Structure 1
Amino acid sequence: MPTMKFANILLERNPRSLSYPSLYCKADGPVIEDEAATDGSWLLYTKGEYDFSTYFNSLSVQKLRKYTNATKFFLHLELKGAAAHVIETKGGVFSAHPEPVESVTADLPASDDWQSVDLELEVDEDAVIVGFTITTDGQVAIRNSCYSLEYTGEARPIELALATATFKKESFIERNIGLVKSQILASDEDIANHFHMYVIDNGRTLDVDKLSDEHVTVRPNQNVGGAGGFTRGMIEAMGQEVPATNILLMDDDVAVSPESIKRTYNLLRLLKPEYHDAMISGAMLNYEIGEDQWEDTGWMTDRGACRPAKPPLRLTQFEDIVYNECFRMPKDILKRKQRYAAWWYCCIPISVIKENGLPLPYFVRLDDAEYGVRCGKEFITMNGLCIWHMAFHLRYNAAVERYQTTRNGFIAHCTTGFDPDADLLAELHNNIRLELKKFGYENAELCLDAFEDFLKGPKFIAQPGAAEKAFMDANKHKEKLVSFPEVQQRAEELGIDGFDLSQIDRQLVDGDKPRTRLERLEDYVTNNGQRFFKYEGEGYAVIPVLGWLYPAGAIHNKKYLIVIDWYNKKGAVRVKDPERYSAIVKRYERDLKYYKKNIERLRREYSAARAELTSVKYWKHYLNMD
């Protein structure tokens, strides 16, 4: 039967590998790149044990047996230097540490010449992942090492397109283009001849001639957000000379290992027929804390909120690496049938796009969630398929969280049946109430702006340029955060006694205080002193910028709230304003009355517009491609 190289043993030199080397190899000594070598070799620098049973260098045999035609698994190593002992390891469901497989070993004498180790790996029914350790008597060099698979049948012909939509993120995107060119297109692996990268430049700031070549296309595009940029990539991939079979959507502001892309391509080639229409989803690792997994597929709650499907995991811990692979989706998530794969790294078959249409013209937010739920396909995840992305709480934007998320959820709900059982009105009510209790009047108004734009019907969102203008307007109308010195100045102008920003720290910002039962009842009835029994309040509280947090005890009976974005060193001063509160409530009540009267008509109109809004013809016009 034929064999295929599936995964290279990965060693990298970048900020994440230097800060979190245990993602690659756990060792008694350093593992360093041999700068004097020209063959890409690395040095296991001193005598000791080097464990490659890691996130990037273990092999996901349980999933490979489930999803692919693989029947046998092999390890190839090339080593030279001191004497070394190689042994296979495995991880089962309850393994806390790599377990040695004593029947699969190799011993190498000391040698100045390269020596090859080729082992057929033992994979029993209990194995979730397998790996290996190398125990050395001294310094050993390693190069050209990999896992290979024996498989039945024939490998599928795959033409893989990568699409990334970017807006003025030159440093990220130019680095990723460089990695693709040097480590994928310049490699001797099969993917090099069946791969094309599309960079959809919504900001029109990239040097097209400098960055484009036979296999990389930089396409200047109008600013249509991530949804429009990724859609442009889908259309380009479907129309290329040799049509793509699959398209990998990847965010611009991410760090990625090209090895993840190679493994995605190899996985596609070996999928069993029943998984040919599956989406392959890469995990989001925390850019700031590179060993922490933030999300590995998500799901929509009954309130229309996005949530990670898995608990937080630390991928330098062996037990978490195993858990990540054998995690079974909880029944309540499966029952809702509202899973999605985020487009920071999501590989979609072109046949699925042709079957289900293109994305909705959202600009940003919920485009990936809606599309994943709409298509309803299997999601395949695997250790080593990932990107590093900035954590969401570090870049909170009310224009996204309050305007885009609110509007897009209602539009998708009516247009494609997205999250049909979700109580979006309850989520809207909760968000408005939360902002009002925290005197976030601008952000509460953004929720209503979003709701009212939804109420305008599909003709509003269908207009070219409407989505961009709406997002720009939301950014203009959201609460303005200013520098810390300006926050201090504003507090002094308002006469806020005792406020000294130099005495503020994260402990105070993130803290809260307990409330009595009477205080809880009071806050519920009066919305923090703004209805029925109105009172001015006294003093101030310091609270985080994140809109979904509710430090109820800290804000109780306060006149001023000082909002702090500690990561970006910005903030704002909020002043209780019962009159503005009343005006927003009246506007909300008016909108609800219109919604209840017209929702059935709106559902019919949005549903009828689905075919047009997701068609290639519509999108080509929207993107000025016709």
Structure 2
Amino acid sequence: DLETEGGQTLRVEQVRWTVEAPEKIRPTAVTICTMNRADDCLKNLQALAADVSSLETLDTIYVADQGTDLVESRDGFEQVAKDLADKLHYIKQPNLGGAGGFTRGLYEVAGHTATEHANVLFMDDDVLLEPDLVIRMTAFSNRAANPIIVGGQMLNLFHPNQLHVGAEYARLNTLEPGQPVEHSLTTADLLGVDEETLKPNRQERRLDAGYNGWWSCLIPYEVVQATGYPMPFFFQWDDAEYSYRARAHGFPTVTLPGAGVWHADFHMKDWDEWHRYFNLRNSIITAALHSPFNLNLLSRVLLAQLVRYLLGMQYGLSATLIKAVEDFLEGPEVLRDGGVEAMKEIRRIRDQYPETKRHKATDVPGIA
């Protein structure tokens, strides 16, 4: 609402930035992978349903539910299914991790030769969503001269005006994801100023990302045709590997400012968890596929990590690293079931080490 000098109030509604329409407006299919985050997933479906009238290019929503606490069990699901009508396709399948859930949606769209879909938008189940994301990413992709992967940015949920990183890449041979590309803002207050230049934090440069996280990432149909499906990594590094493989086929990745979601701050998460196995194993596989794979350098990196974990008495984490390396050396066969057995086994291994178990602060003996 705006107040004029005369004291009148003017209301401005439905503001849109537009460009010339492309020759063909290609619709987008949203794919949400969820596992026991029923309430979070339902909120995002409700957000899309509430704005579905303005989401003209949103053709279909695929929900791959891999959990035991199902989204369809919630009271609001029946209503949101009614609101979204034939746009919603709810799929239940075993837990195949994020890679398996997203791949299912990709298969539903690109696996059928008669499909009308052109874009597939991956989206996490636990993000805070602004539905306009679908419009912006679809419009940008449809105006691109050549097919490209369009990534949405991540903002920190607990610091809502803080950008995680403008655009990122991975140092593959040293197993370091999440590196900001040159000139990229990182952990930046988008309402603040740069401490060195004292100028507002603005994203004015076009940045070529190495990859984009699948908290929100749009993949055109042509990319899938040329690149194939994601690796059956179960969890972590699937997004990076896919972007680097797509780049080898001539499809770069661009992280689009002004299009993004709010996701739980990464630094709030526990690093010493079972999923660290997948982070390590899959990072080595990605390095083997898409880097010079300098074994001397990689061995030093892994040895340094192992020594650090041992000195910190993180024996479960040490065992996790060793298991990841051993399974990499086993070869591609370890990926055959999509990671189901690997998840069970690494949890069994870690369960033998008491320091891997989480305890409530109020349960610590001898401390009031």
Q: What TM-score do you get using the length of structure 1 for normalisation? A: 0.51
Q: What do residues 495-548 of structure 1 show as CA deviations (whole Å, max 9, x unaligned)?
A: xxxxxx56xxxxxxxxxxxxxxxxxxxxxxxxxxxxxxxxxxxxxxxxxxxxxx
Q: What secondary structure sits across from 2:273 in the alignment?
A: helix
Q: What secondary structure sits across from 1:408 in the alignment?
A: helix
Q: 1:387 aligns to what?
A: 261
TM-fit CA distance, 1:283: 0.7
Q: What secondary structure sits across from 2:213 in the alignment?
A: coil
Q: 1:346 aligns to what?
A: 217
Q: What secondary structure sits across from 1:384 in the alignment?
A: strand
8 Å contact kept, 1:167–1:201: yes
Amino acid at match of 2:127: V
Amino acid at match of 1:486: D
8 Å contact kept, 1:321–1:383: no
Aligned with residue 270 of structure 1, among 143, 163, 171: 143
Name structure 1 gaps, 5 residues minimum: 1-42, 48-81, 84-109, 111-136, 330-337, 493-500, 503-626
Residue 364 in 1 paired to residue 243 in 2? no
Q: What secondary structure sits across from 2:50 in the alignment?
A: helix
Distance (Å, rounded) in 1 between the aligned partners of 2:240 and 2:292: 10
Distance (Å, rounded) in 2 between the aligned partners of 1:323 and 1:419: 35
Residue 224 in 1 paired to residue 96 in 2? yes
Inter-CA distance 361–284: structure 2 relative to 1 (3 Å threshold): same
Residue 201 in 1 paired to residue 71 in 2? no
8 Å contact kept, 1:155–1:269: no
| Pairing 1:470-481 to 2, within 5 Å after superposition | 470-473=345-348, 476-477=351-352, 479-481=356-358
Residue 355 in 1 paired to residue 222 in 2? no
> Higher strand proportion, which one?
1
TM-fit CA distance, 1:472: 3.9
Q: 2:310 aligns to what?
A: 436
Q: What secondary structure sits across from 2:13 in the alignment?
A: strand
Inter-CA distance 321–223: structure 2 relative to 1 (3 Å threshold): farther
Q: What secondary structure sits across from 1:363 in the alignment?
A: coil
Amino acid at match of 1:295: V
TM-fit CA distance, 1:354: 1.8
Q: 2:119 aligns to what?
A: 246
Distance (Å, rounded) in 2 between the aligned partners of 1:322 and 1:397: 29
Q: What secondary structure sits across from 1:207 in the alignment?
A: helix
Inter-CA distance 456–242: structure 2 relative to 1 (3 Å threshold): closer
Distance (Å, rounded) in 2 between the aligned partners of 1:215 and 1:474: 43
TM-fit CA distance, 1:175: 0.7
Q: 2:285 aligns to what?
A: 411
Distance (Å, rounded) in 2 between the aligned partners of 1:313 and 1:295: 8
Distance (Å, rounded) in 1 between the aligned partners of 2:20 and 2:144: 13
Residue 261 in 1 paired to residue 134 in 2? yes
Name structure 2 gaps, 5 residues minimum: none
Q: What secondary structure sits across from 2:320 in the alignment?
A: helix
TM-fit CA distance, 1:477: 4.9
Q: What do residues 98-142 of structure 1 show as CA deviations (whole Å, max 9, x unaligned)?
A: xxxxxxxxxxxx6xxxxxxxxxxxxxxxxxxxxxxxxxx553211
Amino acid at match of 1:483: K
8 Å contact kept, 1:156–1:270: no
TM-fit CA distance, 1:203: 0.4
Residue 166 in 1 paired to residue 34 in 2? yes
Q: What secondary structure sits across from 2:258 in the alignment?
A: coil
TM-fit CA distance, 1:410: 2.1
Inter-CA distance 328–281: structure 2 relative to 1 (3 Å threshold): closer
Relative contact order higher in (CA < 8 Å, ≥ 6 apart): 2
TM-fit CA distance, 1:362: 1.2
8 Å contact kept, 1:365–1:400: no
Amino acid at match of 1:167: M
Q: What secondary structure sits across from 1:359 in the alignment?
A: coil
Distance (Å, rounded) in 2 between the aligned partners of 1:437 and 1:476: 20
Distance (Å, rounded) in 1 between the aligned partners of 2:67 and 2:293: 35
TM-fit CA distance, 1:391: 1.1
Inter-CA distance 171–323: structure 2 relative to 1 (3 Å threshold): same
| Pairing 1:123-202 to 2, within 5 Å after superposition | 138-150=8-20, 154-184=22-52, 186-187=53-54, 190-192=56-58, 195-202=59-66
8 Å contact kept, 1:156–1:268: no
Amino acid at match of 2:139: N
Amino acid at match of 2:192: Q
TM-fit CA distance, 1:285: 0.3
Aligned with residue 202 of structure 2, among 316, 323, 336: 323
Q: What do residues 595-617 of structure 1 show as CA deviations (whole Å, max 9, x unaligned)?
A: xxxxxxxxxxxxxxxxxxxxxxx
- State, as a whole percentage, how many aligned pairs show the same letter: 23
TM-fit CA distance, 1:375: 1.2
Q: 2:151 aligns to what?
A: 281
TM-fit CA distance, 1:401: 5.8
TM-fit CA distance, 1:239: 4.0
8 Å contact kept, 1:279–1:379: yes
| Pairing 1:299-314 to 2, within 5 Å after superposition | 299-301=169-171, 302-309=173-180, 310=184, 311-314=186-189
Q: What do residues 462-494 of structure 1 show as CA deviations (whole Å, max 9, x unaligned)?
A: 13533443454366356112122333x1xx5xx
Distance (Å, rounded) in 2 between the aligned partners of 1:471 and 1:358: 25
Q: What do residues 50-100 of structure 1 show as CA deviations (whole Å, max 9, x unaligned)?
A: xxxxxxxxxxxxxxxxxxxxxxxxxxxxxxxx35xxxxxxxxxxxxxxxxx
Inter-CA distance 217–387: structure 2 relative to 1 (3 Å threshold): same
Q: 2:344 aligns to what?
A: 469
Alignment size in residue pairs = 343
Distance (Å, rounded) in 2 between the aligned partners of 1:392 and 1:322: 21
Inter-CA distance 264–385: structure 2 relative to 1 (3 Å threshold): same
TM-fit CA distance, 1:199: 0.7
Q: What do residues 326-379 of structure 1 show as CA deviations (whole Å, max 9, x unaligned)?
A: 2656xxxxxxxx811111111111211221121111111111111111211322
Distance (Å, rounded) in 1 between the aligned partners of 2:341 and 2:291: 22
Q: 1:116 aligns to what?
A: none
Q: 1:396 aligns to what?
A: 270
8 Å contact kept, 1:158–1:244: yes
Inter-CA distance 474–230: structure 2 relative to 1 (3 Å threshold): farther
Aligned with residue 485 of structure 1, among 349, 362, 367: 362
Distance (Å, rounded) in 1 between the aligned partners of 2:119 and 2:127: 21
Q: What secondary structure sits across from 1:147 in the alignment?
A: coil
Distance (Å, rounded) in 2 between the aligned partners of 1:138 and 1:165: 48
Two-structure CA RMSD over aligned residues (Å): 2.6
Q: 1:452 aligns to what?
A: 326
8 Å contact kept, 2:274–2:347: no
Amino acid at match of 2:56: D
Distance (Å, rounded) in 1 between the aligned partners of 2:193 and 2:9: 25
Q: 1:333 aligns to what?
A: none
Q: What TM-score do you get using the length of structure 2 for normalisation? A: 0.84
Larger Rg: 1
Inter-CA distance 406–145: structure 2 relative to 1 (3 Å threshold): closer
Distance (Å, rounded) in 1 between the aligned partners of 2:257 and 2:240: 22
